[in-house]
Amino acid sequence: MEWRVPLADLDYSNEEIQAVTDVLRSKWLTMGEITQKFESEFAKMCGAKHAIAVSNATQALHLACLALGIGPGDEVIVPSLSFVATSNAVLYCSAKVKFVDIIDPKELTIDPNAIARSINKNTKAIIIMHYAGFPCRMDDILAVAEEHHLPVIEDAAHAAGSFLDGKGLGTFGEIGCYSFFSNKNLSVGEGGMVVCERDDIAEKIRLMRSHGMTSLTYDRHQGHAFSYDVVVTGYNYRIDEIRSALGLEQLKKLSKNNQKRREITENYWAAFRGYPIGIPFSHLKQDIFSYHIFPILLPSEVNRQEFMIGCRDAGIQTSIHYRPIHTFTNYQTEYGQTWLPITDYAASREVTLPLFPTMTPDQQAYVIDNVIRLVTGK
């Protein structure tokens, strides 16, 4: 379908084409020095000691769980209002998920008090997700985690280039995981990054990313190694030079594009004030955030399906973030009914509107007019 205003769009230009062409001409495609540069530039950007590139954030989350020793018999606290990959990573380790509610329909991130109430003797870790790149309540979460000696994994898939008081989201907990999927603020098609401070965790993750092998094909190509040992059970979770080259170009644009997203977000907030439209996160003190998506909450008298059809008929693409994970068949079969009233309420009213840095003022005005028309019926 040809949208008049799509939900998301890439900011790709000649720089990305040139970067990919350069890799193709070099004839070195698997992980090598461009990936190393992407890792070090990304680490610098968010303020992490280690950054390890992988093929997607799902792998990043899986490696994070494995590096923390999560396994059978363990329970991991996870927000249900997230993408299913956040909790699937726990299942890959044969551990159990404990879903926890969000703070409020105006603040769609995990509730620190609910985390505290959910901890038991089997709890092994806490996974949080910075929805749309807005920070979870980090002070409270880290205080609970510290009290119970639990590591925090940050699902920072939405949060590339988000900072809270100067510190990169993804660097507050033990391990941070980012996504570079093609609708993300930094897009390479499929890609991800793990960041951490601890050398031992970084070492484990590097090994597990590539079959548990002690040297890479690149090291052998460089003449730095002639053979390898396999010291842990690993995976092929490597990225490649083409996507790392795209990542480096996209990284250069990230801060400028996140600022553009902020302007568009603030225009939406201003335009919807005074209408019966819930606008999550607008009450927070704004910082350098990534503004990855733009969620609204519809009033109860507006039927969401009809609203989304109305948008579609006007050529405006919308989405839902998210159907809560605890409502999916695969999770209901395992865990039965889960009582998360705030998550269920917010998720039943949420609609995501178009937001991307190349969005024109005309496109945004068109979305705003149509949203107000469909909500008010005028």
Ligand X SMILES: Cc1ncc(COP(=O)(O)O)c(C=O)c1O
Q: Which residues bind ligand X (CB under 6 A)?
A: 56-58, 82-83, 85-86, 129, 155, 157-158, 179, 181, 192
State the nearest-atom distance from the C-beta of 81 to ligand X, in Å.
10
Our CB check for ligand X shows the closer of 57 and 346 to be 57
Residue closer to ligand X, measured from CB, 257 or 290:
290
Does the active-site annotation cover 256?
no
Long-range contacts formed by 183-186: CB under 8 A, 24+ apart: 183/7, 183/8, 184/157, 184/158, 184/160, 184/292, 185/133, 185/158, 185/160, 185/161, 185/254, 185/257, 185/258, 185/261, 185/290, 185/292, 186/160, 186/161, 186/247, 186/250, 186/251, 186/254
The distance of closest approach from Cβ of residue 135 to ligand X in the complex, given in angstroms and rounded to an integer, is 14
- Tell the smallest beta-carbon distance from residue 305 to ligand X (Å): 23
Tell me whether residue 276 or residue 328 sits nearer to ligand X (CB atom): 328
Q: Which two tokens stand for residue 27?
A: 């004839």
* Catalytic, out of 37, 49, 106, 184: 184
Q: What angle do CA 208, 214, 218 make, to 5 degrees?
A: 100
Those residues whose C-beta lies under 8 Å from the C-beta of residue 235, and which sit 6 or more positions away, are: 59, 62, 63, 208, 209, 210, 211
The angle formed by the CA atoms of residues 185, 186 and 189, to the nearest 5 degrees, is 110
Q: What is the DSSP code (8-state) at residue 73?
A: T
Q: Which amino acid is at 113?
A: N
Pick 129 or 271: Cβ nearer ligand X: 129
Minimum distance from residue 115 beta carbon to ligand X (Å)? 17
User: CA–CA separation, 9 vs 305, rounded Å?
Assistant: 24
- What is the closest distance, in whole angstroms, from the C-beta atom of residue 56 to ligand X in the complex? 3
Largest distance between two CA atoms of the chain: 72
Give the closest residue to 185 by CA, choosing from 264, 120, 271, 116: 264
> What span, in angstroms and rounded, lies between the C-alpha atoms of 375 and 273?
13
Q: Which is nearer to ligand X, 145 or 193 (CB)?
A: 193
* Catalytic sites, residue numbers: 184
